[in-house]
């Protein structure tokens, strides 16, 4: 007599529920809240990571800017040289809007500037080139750096003062955008925008932390009032 193995028996069919539960649809308001929470969290995390170096840099240099006496070291080097007199007396026509004082059209500014830069390995951008009756004054400037040449138009002889500062001063000038050019100006603007977005998305995320919403808003309000109070005290 054969025995029936229970495993050989067909599995009972699962009968579907006669009344399946309908899928819940979110209202427009709840759908928007879910979308806002998702994208606020995404932006907050990845913008923080992308702009981490910039935020750290501008935060640290904010301290060094506020206390310049803590970090400051300056090096001054004085040099001498001579330029061809012909570069300082050229027959150039004055511009149409000439004010009668700036004599730049009488000097070969390109030759003078490039010679100074190559001869003394000057860095920075040419920020000023002033020409007077008896002398010229040429200035190159960069973050934490300045060099000024005073040239006699009669003899071509000049003195050059090269001032360079320490790394902290360079970083402070970068923070202020001082003598940095258009590219670094874009870096400052983009960093500021990232900082604003990180702050705003962080504030938005507070409203999705229901258990801590009240305390978080109180702390945010206290910080705002403290900053406002310090402002009024600073005004004297």
pLDDT (tens digit per residue) in 121-145: 998 899 999 999 899 999 999 998 9
Domains: count for the chain? 2
**For range 159-180, the mean pLDDT:** 87
Environment class of 172 (CB within 10 Å of its CB; exposed 0-12, middle 13-18, buried 19+): buried
| Residue 151 shares a structural domain with residue 83 | yes
Report if residue 20 sits inside a domain.
no
Q: Are 148 and 127 in contact (CB under 8 A)?
A: no
Same domain, 205 and 225: yes
pLDDT score recorded for residue 151: 95
- pLDDT above 80: residue 14: no
Please give the Cα distance from 72 to 56 (Å, whole number). Answer: 21
- The domain boundary residue, chosen from 148, 165, 182: 165
Residues found in the chain: 236
pLDDT tens-digit map of 41-91 = 888 888 888 888 888 888 888 888 888 777 777 788 999 999 999 999 887
Are the CB atoms for 147 and 187 separated by under 8 Å? no
Average pLDDT of the chain, as a whole number: 83
Would 18 be classed as within a structural domain? no
Same-domain pairing of 136 and 206? no
Confirm whether 16 is domain-assigned: no
Of 143, 165, 187, the residue at which a domain comes to its end is: 165
pTM for the structure as a whole? 0.65
Residue 137 pLDDT = 95
Domain that holds residue 87: 74-165
């Amino acid at each position: 007599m054969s025995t029936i193995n229970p495993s050989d028996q067909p599995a009972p069919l699962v009968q579907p529920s006669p009344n399946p539960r309908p899928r819940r649809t979110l209202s427009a308001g709840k759908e928007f809240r879910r979308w806002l929470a998702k994208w606020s969290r995404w932006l907050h995390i990845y913008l923080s990571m992308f702009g981490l170096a910039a935020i750290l840099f501008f935060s640290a240099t904010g301290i060094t800017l506020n206390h310049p006496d803590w970090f400051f070291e300056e090096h001054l080097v004085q040099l001498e040289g001579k330029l061809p007199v012909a570069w300082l007396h050229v027959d150039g026509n004055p511009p149409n809007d000439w004010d009668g004082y700036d004599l730049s059209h009488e000097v070969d500014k390109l030759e003078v500037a490039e010679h100074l830069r190559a001869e003394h390995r000057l860095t920075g951008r040419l920020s000023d080139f002033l020409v007077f009756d008896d002398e010229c004054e040429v200035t190159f400037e960069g973050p934490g750096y300045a060099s000024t040449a005073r040239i006699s138009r009669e003899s071509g002889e000049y003195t050059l003062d090269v001032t360079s500062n320490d790394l902290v001063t360079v970083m402070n000038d970068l923070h202020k955008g001082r003598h940095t050019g258009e590219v670094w100006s874009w870096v400052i603007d983009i960093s500021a925008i990232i900082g604003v977005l990180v702050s705003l998305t962080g504030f938005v995320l507070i409203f999705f932390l229901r258990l801590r919403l009240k305390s978080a808003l109180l702390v945010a309000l206290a910080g705002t009032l403290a900053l406002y109070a310090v402002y009024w005290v600073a005004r004297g």
